[in-house]
Amino acid sequence: MLQTLYSYFWWERLWLPANLTWADLEDRDGRVYAKASDLYVTIPLAFLFLIVRHLFEMYVATPLAGLLNVKEKIRLKATPNPVLEKFYAATTKHPKQADVEMLSKQSGCTVRQVERWFRRRRNQDRPSLLKKFREASWRFTFYLIAFIAGMAVIVDKPWFYDLREVWKGYPIQSMLPSQYWYYMIELSFYWSLLFSIASDVKRKDFKEQIIHHVATIILISFSWFANYIRAGTLIMALHDSSDYLLESAKMFNYAGWRNTCNNIFIVFAAVFIVTRLVILPFWIMHCTVVYPLDLYPAFFGYYFFNFMMVVLQSLHIFWAYLIIRMAQKFI
């Protein structure tokens, strides 16, 4: 049964255009092609990223936080109360008025004291400013290095200037060593983000972040399987171009540098809107939707890749709405 499922999963018609087989993408005559087995290395690399991140946060981000004078606000702790603690842990952190009145009778506290206890208890569980700063510092460092590396990988390639070159000779396109490492590092990083998301600071867009990480991992993996590497490198570099700006704005916000944070955020908002609401849909997605049809009939992989691009684009529209609202407040 597993062999049957394996055969169906790797059926050429799912991944490759008509009249092409996996045999056409075997290494020969000095040409090297992407292989699914290459991606096995990304899982151990993801755990290596988690180790490097831990060391970075301890020995780089923490001293940097001290230099930028990142200070914790004094938080009043909730008085130990077994009745309220049990309700807080087992039922809800935000009790309704009826629950507050019931807990008041059970604990011997006034309604006002119960409400104050839950406020302070929730405040205790909020992530520390130092934790937020260290996470932002790590992501800023990676995204900045990844963006610089990504531009170095693609800036001298003809498809960076002419998007029709993305599909020239597809899928018989040899993989370059720089493309291999760019893919492996980016995919490993997103695996590490997915593995650590439960322990990271939980934000309001937590669900959207999970969807984004999963969609990104699927897109990167699929583009590797189907040899969409040229398009994939363009998409990854485009995404990294604004992310490091957001993380740097967060760092200055946690350090209390409000004006610097606001100015960087305005720049981030402009770059985000241009890259993800203009360049991505009207250049990159046009390239992945329209140009391939000039070379071969649409197949499952074509539809699947572009569907995942639509998922990402939908998330970008959602985030752009939030970003524009925040930018309006700063302006």
- Residue 31's DSSP bridge partners are 28
Residues 50, 30: Cα–Cα separation, whole Å: 36
For residues 227 and 169, the answer to whether their CB atoms sit within 8 Å is no
Contact assessment for residue 243 and residue 193, using Cβ atoms and an 8 Å cutoff: no
| pLDDT on residue 6 | 66
201-242 confidence digits (pLDDT tens): 877 777 888 888 888 899 999 899 888 999 999 999 999 999
Angle at 12 between CA 229 and CA 168, to 5 degrees: 35
Q: Give the residue from 290, 41, 32 showing the smallest Cα distance to 166.
A: 290
Alpha-carbon gap, residue 331 to 329, rounded angstroms: 6
The backbone torsions φ and ψ at residue 29, rounded to the nearest 5 degrees and listed phi first, read: 55, 40
For residue 152 the two structure tokens come to: 């170095």
Distance of alpha carbon 29 from alpha carbon 24, whole angstroms: 12
Q: What is the pLDDT of residues 263-309, one digit of tens each?
A: 999 999 999 999 999 999 999 999 999 999 988 888 888 898 899 89
Per residue in 20-64, pLDDT (tens digit) is 777 777 877 778 888 888 999 999 999 999 999 999 999 999 999
**Burial class of 110 by CB neighbour count within 10 A (0 to 12, 13 to 18, 19+):** exposed
CA distance 121 to 88: 8
Q: Please name the residues in contact with 180: beta carbons below 8 A apart, sequence gap of 6 or more.
A: 34, 38
φ/ψ of residue 202, rounded to 5: -85, 120
pTM of this structure: 0.84
Instruction: For residue 193, give the nearest of 225, 215, 224, 222 by alpha carbon.
Output: 215
Rounded-to-integer distance, Cα 104 and Cα 124, Å: 21
Looking at residue 71, its pLDDT comes to 75
- Nearest 5°: CA angle at 52, between 47 and 54? 95
Average pLDDT value for residue range 65-91: 79
Rounded-to-integer distance, Cα 193 and Cα 50, Å: 9
Read off the amino acid at residue 309.
Answer: M
Residues 6 or more apart whose CB falls under 8 angstroms from that of 122 comprise 93, 94
Q: Which CATH number fits domain 82-125: 2.40.128.690, 1.10.10.60, 2.60.40.3670, 3.10.450.40?
A: 1.10.10.60
Handedness of CA 301, 304, 308, 314 (dihedral sign): positive
pLDDT value for 330: 67
Please name the residue that has the structure tokens 């540098």.
257
Residues in the chain: 331
Q: Which of 228, 221, 209 has its CA nearest to residue 184? A: 221
Residues of the chain with CATH 1.10.10.60: 82-125
